[in-house]
Structure 1
Amino acid sequence: MTLLHHPRRAGVVVTALVSAIAVSACGSTDKDQASSLQDKVTVTGKYAEKPTIKIDTPLTVKKTTAWTTESGKGDEVGADATTILGLTIADGRTGKTAISTHDAGQRPLEVKLGDQVFPSLTNSLVGRSADSRVVVASTSDDAYGTTGAPQLGIKKGDSLVMVADILSTDPTKILDGPTGKSLPAPATAPKLESSDDDLSRLDFSGLAKPKKFAVIPLREGTGPAIENPDRIAADYIGQVWGAKEPFNNTYGKEPAKFSIGLGGVIKAWDQGLAGLKEGARVMLICPPDTAYGKTAQPGIPANSTLVFVIDVLGVG
């Protein structure tokens, strides 16, 4: 059981897109059509920032088509990957930008491709690399269907242009364990106990429970650093301060995958993992206000101080 995730309050962008976009589309890379559409759609601006979209209106899209304006060198997006996007949508009829995750008060969009959310978009992302900018010219049927999206000013039958910056995706190369220089833990930190070379539990004997959040590096790591937001793969053990056994332990199993920097994990993970390098091992001391606070979880009483040891095995 994974206990790290928090229910996320969806912003306007996420709510509008999830509720309105159809679920039966597929993208195309037909060269002739792509060339024709690229002549009518101009996208400018820096990757990972809100683009300027200029459209020769009204834009007629006979088949959903995608192309890349900037090719990254990050991990490749898999068919079932969870991907973090910066997304901007423009109305092909009017040329107006309808909505963007880059706007104030919004956050990047986390999309699991296998769930068939935004198929006219997500099918166009498979096989492309993180750090790329992808433009999707979508038919109305492949986007908002027969209803349009009046809350965004998009009418029935309007084509759409979607500009997706692939900020991160699931790591495709995952380490077997931490790398880099080992670092000494302070005497006040819990001791790590192992079984068959895997971490099995933490020992709190003789230690006073701390009151402050702490990040204790145990291995430096040698790979790329975690940015906000990023997808990561990790092994971890989590234990309530003073408990005899962990409430969660992934060692000896498949590494878990998480999004960091989107508020989907406990505050301590978002704060404590940002900037760590792939291959790092870290201990997080998490008072209640950085974990679950007054809300009890399975195996975690209310107002618990938690301790995690985390191996960052991949950064997407």
Structure 2
Amino acid sequence: MHRTARLLAGGVVLASIAAALTGCTGGTGSVDGCTPPVSSGQASESVRATGNVGTAPSVSFATPLHANRTEVSVLTPGHGAPISAAQEVSVEVTFLSGTTGAEVTRTDYTGATPARFVVGTVQIPGLRKALVCSQVGERLAVVLPPGQAIPAASRPTGLSASDTVVAVVDVRDAYLARADGTNQVMGDGLPSVVLGPDGRPGITLPQSTPPSKLRVANLKDGDGATIRDGDTAVIHYTGVVWKPGDAANGTVFDSSWTSGSPVDVVVKKGQTVPGLVTALAGQKVGSQVLAILPPSQAYGGQSTSTIPANATLVFVVDILGKA
């Protein structure tokens, strides 16, 4: 992963923006019921960036540039549903010193390794605010005062603790925070699923014997892009052991909701658990899928620290997008 992608995606996770907002175009006021946490100002309006969105920009502004608060201006408008703090985004970004105007770090703009992170957990406080209510396809000029910029532990060479930072951010893509499809009526004999306020599933197993064959049922039907064999799906998931009589029965063996960050799954034989390939191929983004994997479609006789041998596994998967 490129250094800038690591800077944005990893490191210290600070407190997120208070609530997941529904959005509008950042820095331009309230639209579609969303008021951005930050607005444009004289500093962000002075930033110019030439080149197409998704390509490395040529950035100019009068130096030294200083700001007392985070400012954001839209250089190129976007489209589609605005972005909340709970969503993962894919961005290309160039950081520059407000003091000298020099570039200090950037993503590689090849499309292969954009920075991907959940907006509300990015370690640059001002960037968390600036991206709420942005839209896919936007190019943003973000001016970050020292206290809202890059933390000292991650500060690139060429920046001092007193520098204002300019970031030019291209929003390449955004993924759902949770499945948003139409609720479906579930059949009898299946595990029951209750969703928390953030979409996190709680799974209760029936007292019956697990099925001997793979079973797949949609809790929600999405209407987004179709996940096909070989695609990389962006998902949230929770997995539970279903093995009556075993101490692990009913326990969660893994969940992406614990970290708060979605994961990528290659939907292809040999790349992930066999039953999940079958369960996800042909599904649409926005769907929530319940998949019951018998041992032959899961890990068979293998065991791990959280999964006993010959266990049936129950997954609830939110399909958030295609990477």
- Determine if the TM-score, normalized by the shorter chain, exceeds 0.5: yes
Alignment partner of 2:130 out of 116, 124, 128: 124
Alignment partner of 1:45 out of 52, 57, 63: 52
Alignment partner of 2:241 out of 239, 242, 249: 239
Preserved contact between residue 135 and residue 164 of structure 1 (Cα < 8 Å): no
AA matched with 2:173: L
Alignment partner of 1:12 out of 3, 9, 16: 3
Label 1:148 to 1:280 Cα distance change in 2 as closer, same or farther (>3 A): closer
Q: Does 1:259 align with 2:262?
A: yes
What is the distance in 1 between the residues matched to 2:145 and 2:216? 50
- Number of the residue aligned with 1:136: 142
Gaps of 5+ in 2: 18-35, 195-203
Partner secondary structure for residue 154 of structure 1? coil
- Number of the residue aligned with 1:74: 81
- Number of the residue aligned with 1:281: 289
Label 1:52 to 1:121 Cα distance change in 2 as closer, same or farther (>3 A): same
Post-superposition shift, 1:195?
6.8
Q: RMSD in angstroms over aligned alpha carbons? A: 5.3
Label 1:246 to 1:231 Cα distance change in 2 as closer, same or farther (>3 A): same
Post-superposition shift, 1:119?
1.0
1:52-63 equivalence runs, <5 A: 52-56=57-61, 58=63, 60-62=65-67, 63=69
Label 1:286 to 1:102 Cα distance change in 2 as closer, same or farther (>3 A): farther
Q: Does 1:165 align with 2:168?
A: no
Q: TM-score, normalised by structure 2?
A: 0.58
Preserved contact between residue 229 and residue 260 of structure 1 (Cα < 8 Å): no
AA matched with 2:49: T
What is the distance in 2 between the residues matched to 1:217 and 1:59? 59
AA matched with 1:61: H
Preserved contact between residue 242 and residue 311 of structure 2 (Cα < 8 Å): yes
Preserved contact between residue 272 and residue 284 of structure 1 (Cα < 8 Å): no
1:1-316 equivalence runs, <5 A: 12-17=3-8, 28-35=38-45, 37=46, 40-46=47-53, 49-56=54-61, 58=63, 60-62=65-67, 63-68=69-74, 69-78=76-85, 81-92=86-97, 93-96=100-103, 98-100=105-107, 102=109, 106=113, 108-113=115-120, 115=121, 117-130=123-136, 132-144=138-150, 149-151=155-157, 153-156=158-161, 157=163, 159-165=165-171, 167-171=173-177, 174-175=180-181, 177-178=183-184, 193-194=189-190, 200-201=205-206, 203-204=209-210, 218-219=217-218, 221-225=221-225, 238-239=240-241, 245-248=249-252, 259-261=262-264, 267-268=272-273, 273=280, 276-277=283-284, 278-279=286-287, 281=289, 283=291, 285=293, 296-298=304-306, 300-301=307-308, 307-310=313-316, 312=318
AA matched with 1:13: T
Post-superposition shift, 1:73?
1.4
What is the distance in 2 between the residues matched to 1:162 and 1:286? 49
